[in-house]
Amino acid sequence: MSPGKGLLWTGRILSIVFVLFMIMDGVMKIVRPPSVVEGSAKMGYVASTLPGIGVALLLCTLLYVVPKTRVLGGLLLTGYLGGAVASQVRVGPLPSNSRSRSCLPWSSGPASGSSNRLCER
């Protein structure tokens, strides 16, 4: 049984948005604008390591985009994102400005109710 057209296109659109975000993140690490260097420094990463991290991210994303290597790319991106989460846990809470932006999508959903415990501090 094949998924419906709506489900298929939803998956495609979500994959495209994810890939575009990963490409943007990788390119920003290679280009190194001041805001990225500053944010990475707060996370404990030296500016000289950013291009290598960006290239690794772009290669993992490329593997994810190619159909024959999609599973390998997905596994590598899972590891990359796990490292990002581990870095965040090691450093501590986000500044309130960033936390507000990251919680916005969840707090505006219809099932979120009047309060979102993940975003409260």
Q: How many domains does the chain have?
A: 1
pTM above the 0.75 mark? no
Q: Do residues 56 and 83 make contact, with C-beta atoms less than 8 angstroms apart? A: no
Give the model confidence (pLDDT) of 47-82 as tens digits.
999 999 999 999 999 999 999 999 999 999 999 999
In-domain check, residue 73: yes
Give the model confidence (pLDDT) of 85-106 as tens digits.
888 888 887 665 544 444 434 4
The span from the CA of 63 to the CA of 41, in Å, is: 28
The angle subtended at Cα 62 by Cα 41 and Cα 67, nearest 5°, is 145
Task: For tokens 């870095």, name the residue.
Answer: 87
pLDDT higher than threshold 60 for residue 113: no
Domain that holds residue 34: 7-99
The span from the CA of 57 to the CA of 63, in Å, is: 10
In-domain check, residue 14: yes
Mean pLDDT of the chain: 81
Q: Do residues 103 and 118 make contact, with C-beta atoms less than 8 angstroms apart? A: yes
DSSP 12-42: HHHHHHHHHHHHHHHHHHHH--HHHHHHHHH
Task: For tokens 């996370």, name the residue.
Answer: 43
pLDDT band of residue 109 (cuts 50, 70, 90) is very low
Per-residue pLDDT, averaged over 25-45, amounts to 92
pLDDT for res 91: 84
In-domain check, residue 111: no
DSSP label of 95: P
In-domain check, residue 66: yes
In-domain check, residue 85: yes
